[in-house]
Homo-oligomer: A and B are copies of this chain.
Amino acid sequence: MNGSECAMKAAKDAGIEVCFANPGTTELPLVVALDTVGGIRPVLGLFEGVCTGAADGYARMLQKPVMVLLHLGPGLANGIANLHNAKRAHSKIVTLVGEHSTWHRPFDPPLAMDIESLAKTVSGWQRTCVSCDRLGQDMADAVEAADKGQIATIIVPFDLQTEKCGSGVVVSHKKEKPSVSRGAVKTAATLLREGKKTVLMLGNKYIGRKELLAAARIKQACGCDLITENFPAHIMRGAGLPDVIRVPYLPEMAIDMLSKYDVLIFAGAKEPVSFFGYEGIPPAFLKDEQQKFHLSTPDQDLLDVLDILADELDASKIINPDLLASLKIPEMPAGVLTPDKICAVIAALQPEGAIVVEEAITTGLMYYSITSGVAPFDLLTLTGGAIGQGAPCAVGAAIACPDRPVINFQADGAGMYTLQALWTEAREGLNVTTLICSNRSYDILKVEYGRLGVSPGKCATQLTDLAGIDWVNLGKGMGVPSVKVTTAEVLVRELGKALHEQGPNLIQMVM
């Protein structure tokens, strides 16, 4: 075996099944090893931000490490924005980057960059390989590091990839799952029993059915509220699940909502802060006099934590249905499209088990609240605020869960960032329905001009104006069947059709 084969074998043995890739010359031996070793499926993205965003979507759905293969510094740079979102989602991603041969790099060839400095902006773990014989172990270590819920970046010089090496035997470390602190659970239980106005704030890589029902047991036992972060990485939602309130985006609303609690218990969540800073509004939403208790961190198992806490509270395993959302499908709207009508149509039509990637920005504001009682579905949101996450994330979710419909609820401005993802949807025949919110504007910036008390002048107006994009042509250009709709009735018809067809579709929703 050569170094590349050792690395790919180690990756496969550690459970890697998919590699989102846009390799170049310095990664070709690694590509060749995908063939000779086998067992890892390569998925091509035509821009690195597609690859990293897809890896994020895949990791969020399956809660297991996935690989992304990028070309030198520029390839990594192109992937960083979506790795930033993935980092904020605690996604398990091994970022594999080729580097010039060790004897070539000192000559500063044109593509040479400071890859390590780029990598450290998103990686929780990173290593530049220095020995071919250690490549297998390096990769095993990278997968193990990623499995803790972080980006693990491994930088492999070309000459180490091609060198012959030993057996490639790898020491696999015993997985140490960070254990739940019994003391912390007891403290949380005491706080919950005190009868003060208390909220349990959930945040983690994955807040699924079991986690939600464990939280509902706690709520039933103690009367606390359940909330989640403003941008949850992956949360289940819908009828039969407790309705978890999302911290509002606007700081005034968030502060108002959170101010009613005496005690806040954080399970895998961070203390909420303002997305942007505004003069006169505190960046942290909680006051000193509010009691905060950190029960668990994102790398701890949320389900374990909640189950143990519920048991500590002697919470019943039978949950009163009143604590769970009952089935409630929004009424089907009619007429010209508005953001609220769009949210209603999607909520009404999305099938049980749908995966919804929501990067709808201003158009999606009402979506979360009206989906509390729909058929249960999985929601992925823009954790790190770096736009261009929607389409790639949908690609990754569809690769991870090929039998489930994926809806990419996508703002047009953000969608333009990584529209190349549509090509991967077509190439792989993915069941992704892309719903473009075509308001032809960076509307969020208009909101922010208003907050600044500024009436935008000519330059400011021009820099928010996205007129002239025809998404039907863009979709078709990428190989995705695409239509334009302007009314709720036609949206209902087209979305219904798209959800029942195999393969990708795009609907430009003109407002």
Q: Which residue numbers of A lie inside 8 Å of B, CB to CB? A: 21-26, 28-29, 31-32, 34-36, 42, 44, 46-47, 49, 73-75, 77-78, 80-81, 84, 88, 100-101, 103-104, 107-111, 113-114, 117-118, 120-122, 158-159, 162, 230-231, 270, 273-277, 279, 283-284, 383-388, 413, 416-417, 419-420, 423, 426-427, 444-445, 448-449, 452, 454, 456-460, 462-463, 465-479
Contacts and interface: CB of A to CB of B under 8 A. Distances in A.
A183 to B, nearest CB: 26
A457 B32 contact: yes
A413 B71 CA distance: 14
Contacts of A279: 159, 162
A277 B158 contact: yes
A311 to B, nearest CB: 33
Contact of A109 (B25, B29, B103, B283): B283
A230 B110 CA distance: 10
Given A35-B457, A42-B463, A113 B121 contact: yes
Given A107-B273, A107-B284, A277-B104, A34 B459 contact: yes
9 contacts: A44-B463, A74-B80, A101-B277, A104-B273, A111-B386, A419-B419, A468-B478, A473-B477, A475-B477
A413 to B, nearest CB: 7
Contact of A104 (B283, B457, B477): B283
A32 B454 contact: yes
Given A25-B276, A73-B84, A120 B121 contact: no
A243 to B, nearest CB: 23
Contacts of A47: 388, 416-417
Contacts of A49: 78
A462 B43 CA distance: 8
